[in-house]
Amino acid sequence: MHAVIALRGQQIIERETQRLGRLNSYNGLIRRRNALIQANALQNGAYGCALGSIANELADQDEEARAILADLFKT
């Protein structure tokens, strides 16, 4: 389970890093923010932050999972 958390977390970090890396202006950042807000609103906020969702489900149950997730949030 811990390997899956680490792998999935790293995939999420890489995806978001790539998306942010494509931004080349403040307006682009604003558009990205607005798109995230709109996507979350369409789902009633159910899917918010992918990494946060994993943390919410697993961190309270397992100390090692909590440590893995904490390191991912530092990335």
Q: pLDDT per residue over 27-44, tens digit each? A: 999 999 998 888 888 877
For residue 42, the model assigns a pLDDT of 82
| 68 within 8 A of 6, measured Cβ to Cβ | yes
Provide the pLDDT for residue 43: 74
> Which phi and psi angles does 39 have, rounded to 5°?
-60, -40
**What type of residue sits at position 55?**
A
74 pLDDT above the threshold of 80: yes
pLDDT at 46 over 80: no
Q: How confident is the model at residue 6 (pLDDT cuts 50, 70, 90)?
A: very high
Domain ranges, ordered by start, for the chain: 2-74
CA 29 – CA 26 distance, rounded (Å)? 5
**Per-residue confidence at 67, pLDDT binned at 50, 70, 90?**
very high
